[in-house]
């Protein structure tokens, strides 16, 4: 089953059921860790073993296994046994779109800082999400994405909210 954003002024039952929001929040919480985001980004390019993912994240295999188990349990990943190795792959087809949306949002948030006259070079972290505390990066980006969507539909005039049409 696939859902799309509601048309202006309408909301399908999915968007009004608090339990749905709880389940969505749980999936976002599970993704909200730099190692898991890095693993997902790798898995978008193909299947990888626990050891390969652990090495890429510079963490022990048992920690990588736990991250993968959490993502598999909520339906984001699938796995296949090949001999004595288990290979993981993306199971949720929309996961790439979600990450692209969050990365795009983060790039827009970072743009004013890049345009400022701050001469300091970028840090060694590959992305802002990798350098953030384990849960703050994705939560902040998700909050900002929601704020952007709301601002797209609700503007202000004379300090009062006004629907954009």
In the block, which residue shows the tokens 């190795």?
Answer: 85
Give how many domains the chain has, as a whole number. 1
Residue 39 within any structural domain of the chain: yes
pTM of the model as a whole? 0.61
Residue 162 within any structural domain of the chain: no
Sign of CA dihedral 145, 149, 152, 155: negative
Residue 58 within any structural domain of the chain: yes
The pLDDT of 62-81, averaged and rounded, is: 98
Dihedral angle of Cα 132, 53, 68, 91, to the nearest 10 degrees: 100
Residue 57 within any structural domain of the chain: yes
Q: Strand 48-49 relative to strand 85-90: parallel, antiparallel, unpaired?
A: antiparallel
* Three-class secondary structure of residue 76 per DSSP: coil
Half-sphere exposure of residue 23: CA atoms within 13 angstroms, side-chain side: 10
What is the pLDDT, as a whole number, of residue 3? 58
Residue 8 within any structural domain of the chain: no
* Three-class secondary structure of residue 144 per DSSP: helix
Residue 130 has pLDDT above 50, yes or no: no
Residue 55 has pLDDT above 90, yes or no: yes
The pLDDT of 80-107, averaged and rounded, is: 96
For every residue of 88-143, DSSP letters joined together read EEE--TTHHHHHHHHHHHHHHHHHHHHHSS--PPPPSSSSHHHHS-TTHHHHHHHH
CA distance 137 to 33: 8
Domain CATH code at residue 70: 1.10.10.10
CA distance 163 to 150: 10
Does residue 124 or residue 66 have the better pLDDT? 66
43-52, 84-93, 108-117, 134-143: range with lowest mean pLDDT:
134-143
The pLDDT of 85-99, averaged and rounded, is: 96
Residue 82 within any structural domain of the chain: yes
pLDDT band of residue 139 (cuts 50, 70, 90) is: very low
Average pLDDT, the chain: 77
The pLDDT of 128-136, averaged and rounded, is: 41
Residue 33 within any structural domain of the chain: yes
Does residue 133 or residue 39 have the better pLDDT? 39
pLDDT band of residue 4 (cuts 50, 70, 90) is: low
Residue range(s) defining the domain that contains residue 30: 14-112+126-153
Residue 3 within any structural domain of the chain: no
């Amino acid at each position: 089953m696939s859902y799309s954003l509601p048309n202006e002024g309408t909301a399908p039952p999915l968007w009004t059921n608090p339990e749905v929001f709880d389940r969505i929040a749980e999936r976002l919480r599970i993704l909200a860790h730099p190692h898991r985001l890095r693993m997902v980004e790798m898995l978008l390019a193909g299947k990888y073993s626990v050891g390969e993912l652990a090495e890429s994240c510079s963490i022990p295999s048992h920690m990588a296994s736990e991250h993968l188990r959490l993502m598999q349990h909520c339906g984001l990943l699938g796995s296949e046994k090949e001999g004595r190795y288990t290979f993981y792959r993306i199971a949720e087809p929309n996961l790439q779109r979600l990450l692209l949306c969050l990365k795009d949002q983060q790039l827009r948030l970072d743009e004013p800082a890049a345009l400022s006259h701050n001469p300091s070079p970028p840090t060694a972290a590959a992305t802002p999400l990798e350098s953030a505390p384990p849960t703050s990066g994705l939560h902040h980006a998700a909050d900002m994405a929601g704020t952007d969507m709301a601002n797209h539909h609700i503007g202000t005039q004379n300090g009062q909210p006004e629907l954009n049409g």
